[in-house]
Amino acid sequence: MFFIRLKKVPGVSEGFIVEGKLRPEQTREQILDILSRATDILTLPHVVNEILDITSGKNSSAADLTAIIETDPALTSRILSIANSSYYGFVKKISTISHAVVVLGFQEIQNIALSMSVVQLFDRRGSEFTEKLWRHSFAVGVGTRMMASYFNLKLDGKYFVGGLLHDVGKIFLSQYLPEKYRDMLLAMEEDDNRMTYHMLEEEYFGISHAQVGGRLLDSWMFPQEISGAVTYHHEPSSDGSDPSFAACVHIADLLCTLKGITPLKEHYFLSIEKKILPVLHSLKEDFSTDDMMKLIVQLDLEIDRQSSFVSAFKR
């Protein structure tokens, strides 16, 4: 079971929604109501809000951002660990936040702070499902960046962040409707079940985890390109802001599932969205099954290579 640091909110008992026998459309309305109050229920640390204010301010300086980050020793340590990881490949060691701000830039620091804070909101230990879901999330983060590199896109931290948080909607659903989510997982395992995870999700909740995740990131003021990639990671052609980014998450999710890095076993059936093929071919003209086979092998190497970067997020 997941536990989150919560404020007391009317309608929420012990951090959970009071559940009942609701139809999917009623459950959907219940979920949307909670999402509308997400900033009151799932609160990010004050320092992150200050970082957002500074990174969005026209007159803010690197010194302003440095001063705010240094008020939080834990965040300072994590940012320095990430800056010195092989993910960025800087030759010289970055030993101060002021240096990290200069070399990484405002947007990268914002993405790191936001995503780290979201990860810290949720307890990653607990059931086998919980731990496998987080393992999948971190692997998709690495895989999304790998796909961006494979397609020769300009690399920055948004790719790892988008992949890492692509299933945050599943975590939300399992937290706020734990009984219903558990019932759905049990139904998925029944011998006579012929429905995929995605079909069951719509049947039980009336809304997809991708839609829930996108709304959450919007409420936390994530950049639109990241929340869009999360919202449309199963239908990347619908992402009007950056379909290439959503396609990278989409393929990475598929690769991890094919490798068995998923909590949902064979019931989590995925296939490449046909409508995204023109985008994939615009990125790599001859992209095919052969590329997928190469990428499956490469993913293991990337997960090993990026272990220090991933560890910084897991602290």
How far is residue 178 from each of residues 2, 98, 124, 203, measured CA to CA in Å? 9, 43, 16, 16
Residue 279: what residue type?
A: V
Residue 3: what residue type?
A: F
pLDDT at res. 103: 93
The answer to whether the beta carbons of residues 110 and 48 sit under 8 Å apart is no
CA-nearest of 247, 217, 253, 252 to 235 is 247
Q: How far apart (Å, rounded) are the C-alpha atoms in residues 9 and 14?
A: 10
pLDDT at res. 87: 82
Q: Judge whether residue 176 has pLDDT over 70.
A: yes
The answer to whether the beta carbons of residues 255 and 296 sit under 8 Å apart is yes
Q: Is residue 17 classed as helix, strand or coil in its secondary structure?
A: strand
Q: What is the mean pLDDT of the chain?
A: 86
Indicate the range of 148-157, 172-181, 218-227 predicted with least confidence: 172-181
pLDDT tens digits for range 9-50:
333 334 444 345 567 888 898 899 888 887 777 788 889 989
18 CB-near residues (< 8 Å, 6+ apart): 11, 12
For 7, phi then psi, to 5°, come to -90, 155
270 CB-near residues (< 8 Å, 6+ apart): 234, 253, 254, 257
Q: Which residue has the higher pLDDT, 2 or 195?
A: 195
pLDDT at res. 226: 95
| Domains of the chain, residue spans | 40-121, 124-315
pLDDT at res. 125: 59
pLDDT tens digits for range 185-224:
999 888 888 888 888 999 999 999 999 999 999 998 898 9
> For the domain with range 124-315, which CATH number is right: 1.20.120.350, 1.10.10.10, 1.10.3210.10, 1.10.3720.10?
1.10.3210.10
